[in-house]
Amino acid sequence: MTPTERAVVEQAIAAPMLDQVLRWAAINSGSGNLAGLASMAGELADACAPLPGQIALLDPALVTRIDAQGNEREVAHGRNLLLTVRPQAPVQILLTGHMDTVFDADHPFQTCQWLSPDVLNGPGVADMKGGLAVMIAALRAFETSPEREKLGYQVVFNSDEEVGSPGSAALLARAAAGKLAALTYEPSALPDGTLAGARPGSGNFSLVVTGRSAHAGRNPRDGRNAVVAAADLALRLTGLARPGLSVNCARIEGGGPNNVVPDHAVLRVNIRPRRPQDQDQACGAMDRIMAQVAAAHDLHIHRHGGFARPPKPITTQGQRLLELVRDCGRMLGQEIGWQDSGGVCDGNNIAACGVPVVDTMGVRGGAIHSAQEYLITESLGERAALSALLLCRLAREGV
């Protein structure tokens, strides 16, 4: 490292990240808690206030979902923050993080506790309030570098990543356009700091089955049983699963009294393709199966939803960015590798825009999405140093 880089790294390590994590984890910001998300947006805006540039609070896109009765309803989502710094600089990158967690306002997991002197248990401490603190510490430290004028960046803090980013996907795509590289602050793939490499895509679908009701005893043959058709649909879709494509039929909603042939049902399905061609094949197969089941049961099937997370293979540019992160880690005494992951995140969407992305730049920890979630607190300084050095290298050398 150069003396300038060392000074930037030391400043990043010294940032009050743990205090921020403890304060932010005490704010419930479940994806549906609009008040909590607004509080977190205010906290993040204050934390970013020393950074140059402009910050904006943006409304989400319109989002709808299918309710248990098969009706399409609008769903409210929180607003998103966009910070833009030096848009005319020769090197432009994107950094992203989400302010929402999977823990609703009425979830019992609301407070932090120390499991050991360096392991903190709490809601969102790893996924990803720790990552948000790391990102901001690195950016604030980088702004003390004389190299800063070479690097411009946008930061997206979105409110709905945990539910697939339906209200912020368009914002992410706009922010990714034209960027050299992107960094997303999900926690490391493993507690040892391993990064996520390739990721599958993910699509969530609600298949609305509309049949015809009838008396279960007097004239059942006049009915068209939507629940049975949904079950048939689930079995046929499950049969699509193979290496490179997973199918999870998660729930069937519908039906009514035992003496009535049910005329509606909703099948909830998640499909995860490993490659873009797997996604294309899954879409075609789903269309065929829907048509076959509709014909076999003489009823109607409507599909709502789609592939919100495209597959994320490792491209040549993506490989170079991973190697640059690895090399920066070695300069800091951190051995960092990567492996493929079965999870998805905003990194999928960014990669689909043709931008190389490392999407696990956040803290080391584990048991995310559970009441056992934990943060290894020494990783706050480790990962802030890693990002700070990486920003210096990107400003000087690119990818």
pLDDT per residue as tens digits for the range 246-305: 999 999 999 999 999 999 999 999 999 999 999 999 999 999 999 999 999 999 999 999
> Cα 274 to chain center, whole Å?
17
Dihedral, CA of residue 326, residue 161, residue 274 and residue 206, to nearest 10: 170
Q: State pTM to two decimals.
A: 0.95
- For the CA atoms of 69, 281, 358, 341, what is the dihedral angle to 10 degrees? 80
Judge residue 191's burial from the number of C-beta atoms within 10 Å of its C-beta, 0-12 exposed, 13-18 middle, 19 or more buried. middle
The pairing of strands 91-98 and 181-184 is parallel
Cα(152)–Cα(86) distance, rounded to whole angstroms? 4
Q: Write down the number of H helices and E strands in the chain.
A: 10, 20
Label the pairing between strands 91-98 and 151-158: parallel
Per DSSP (E only), the strands in 5-98 are: 54-58, 64-66, 72-74, 80-85, 91-98
Q: For residue 77, give the nearest of 61, 98, 57 by alpha carbon.
A: 61
> And the tokens for 263?
């005329």
Whole-number Å distance between alpha carbons of 325 and 93: 14
Per-residue pLDDT at 397: 87
Q: Is the Cβ–Cβ distance between 199 and 338 less than 8 Å?
A: no
pLDDT under 50 in the chain at which residues? Answer: none
Tokens of 256: 């009514």
The CA distance from 297 to 380, in Å, is: 57
Among 307, 342, 314, which Cα is nearest to 169's? Answer: 307
User: Looking at residue 398, what is its pLDDT?
Assistant: 81
pLDDT score of 399: 77
The single-letter DSSP state of residue 326 is H
- Taking only the tens place, the pLDDT of each residue in 200-210 is 999 999 999 99
Q: Are 367 and 138 in contact (CB under 8 A)?
A: no
In sequence order, the 6+-apart residues with CB closer than 8 A to the CB of 187 are 126, 127, 128, 130, 131, 360, 362, 363, 364, 365, 366, 368
CB 366 within 8 A of CB 191: yes
